[in-house]
Amino acid sequence: MAITSAPRKLKRTRQVMSTLARHGLGAFAAGARRWYTSIFPLRKARPGVEAIPIEVRVRIALEELGTTFIKLGQVLSMRPDLVPPSLARELEKLQDKAAPLPFEVIEKELARALGPNYREQLGEIEREPLASASIAQVHRATLPSGEIVVLKIRRPGIKRQVETDLAILHDLARMAERTLPEAELVEPTRIVEEFARTIRREMDFIREARNAERFRRHFREDPTVYVPQLYWQFCRENLLVMEWIDGIKISDVERLREAGLDPKIIAIRGAQAILKQVFEYGFFHADPHGANVFLCCRET
């Protein structure tokens, strides 16, 4: 278990509890009074908040609390055995988006990963991000060799923030086990421990690169699946560099048809790829949604 500073944890705990209370979830927050006496009084619930379905309030509160809580909500959305189906459906709406960081901040993180001469190594880097999520920001670059690549840069300070949140979640889980008899059925401490392992792995881009390389090896003989090439010389724990691939999202059926592609054939090939991953390789893509899978035409 990583260590987080007590003042930072206390400040963040106050923010977590106040956010819950503001969205009319104060009954849960108030239960923590004996453990966090110094963070009260909490903010009052917003006027009229009780008229909003509790599932919606939970989702909004998680979004406001950021990376760790968004990821936790996404995990719970796939566990209707742990949360009511209505809440699971609402948590499916959680968006892992974030306001883009200034390019100057990204440059500092690139210098931290590759050294002060990172521009000589990466060539021309586009200032506008392709995407900005809670853990990383993505930029396109053109290497000195002319190859177009994608840079996935971890947000600075995100590891420290996540570790603080995980410490708070552990406290809340233990509190629930002590005060709620029904908590024995779901074992919240074990859930938090498993979640902690998952999110820590997600923040380690070297692990992600190894997984992508293994995935690429599995499908190297399959003409229907293409995995972008990695540029290992640039990959670090906080930086992932891979080949740029353009294409159409599998969820954009209208564009697929306009391009002369048959959605039925695409669905069959996608199903075959997933079955191979699960039953042949025992190693599968855990999040194959429309933003992660594209249709593209490549020369063979």
What are the structure tokens assigned to 95, written together?
Answer: 């968006």
Residue 134 to residue 142: CA distance in whole angstroms: 25
- DSSP-assigned beta bridge partners for residue 230: 242
- For 195-233, write each residue's pLDDT tens digit: 999 999 999 999 999 999 999 999 999 999 999 999 999
Task: Assess whether 287 carries a catalytic annotation.
Answer: yes
Q: How confident is the model at residue 40 (pLDDT cuts 50, 70, 90)?
A: very low
- For 46-73, write each residue's pLDDT tens digit: 677 778 898 999 999 999 999 999 999 9
Asked whether residue 80 falls in the same domain as residue 110, the answer is: no
**pLDDT above 50 for 39:** no
CB 243 within 8 A of CB 237: no
Catalytic residue, candidates 96, 204, 252, 287: 287
Asked whether residue 86 falls in the same domain as residue 167, the answer is: yes
Asked whether residue 195 falls in the same domain as residue 121, the answer is: no
Under DSSP, the state recorded for 133 is B
Q: How many CB atoms lie within 10 A of CB 221?
A: 7
Asked whether residue 38 falls in the same domain as residue 88, the answer is: yes
Higher-confidence position of 181 and 105: 105
Residue 213 lies in a domain: no
Check residue 174 and give its pLDDT: 86
CB 209 within 8 A of CB 235: yes
Q: How confident is the model at residue 294 (pLDDT cuts 50, 70, 90)?
A: confident
Residue 276 lies in a domain: no
Q: How confident is the model at residue 26 (pLDDT cuts 50, 70, 90)?
A: low
**% residues pLDDT > 90 (the chain):** 53
* Distance set, CA 234 to CA 109, 133, 154, 172 (Å): 13, 21, 14, 39
Asked whether residue 12 falls in the same domain as residue 138, the answer is: no
Backbone angles phi, psi at 98, to 5 degrees: -150, 155
Residue 285 lies in a domain: no
The residue whose two tokens read 């503001």 is 22
Q: Domain residues for 55?
A: 6-96+158-202
Residue 169 to residue 101: CA distance in whole angstroms: 27
Asked whether residue 78 falls in the same domain as residue 105, the answer is: no
* Distance set, CA 241 to CA 98, 143, 235 (Å): 21, 11, 6
Q: How confident is the model at residue 176 (pLDDT cuts 50, 70, 90)?
A: confident
Residue 261 lies in a domain: no
Q: How many CB atoms lie within 10 A of CB 290?
A: 11
Q: Which residues contact 279 (CB under 8 A, 6 or more apart)?
A: none
Asked whether residue 89 falls in the same domain as residue 234, the answer is: no
Asked whether residue 10 falls in the same domain as residue 117, the answer is: no
Helix (H, G, I), strand (E, B) or coil at 182: coil
Between vectors from CA 155 to CA 3 and to CA 243, what angle results, nearest 5°? Answer: 125
Asked whether residue 17 falls in the same domain as residue 84, the answer is: yes
- For 139-171, write each residue's pLDDT tens digit: 999 999 999 999 999 999 999 999 999 999 998
Residue 84 lies in a domain: yes
Residue 77 lies in a domain: yes
Asked whether residue 47 falls in the same domain as residue 184, the answer is: yes
Asked whether residue 11 falls in the same domain as residue 107, the answer is: no
Helix (H, G, I), strand (E, B) or coil at 141: strand
Number of structural domains (the chain) is 2
Residue 283 lies in a domain: no
Residue 75 to residue 83: CA distance in whole angstroms: 11
Asked whether residue 136 falls in the same domain as residue 166, the answer is: no
Q: What is this structure's pTM?
A: 0.81
Residue 294 lies in a domain: no
**pLDDT above 70 for 13:** yes
Helix (H, G, I), strand (E, B) or coil at 243: strand
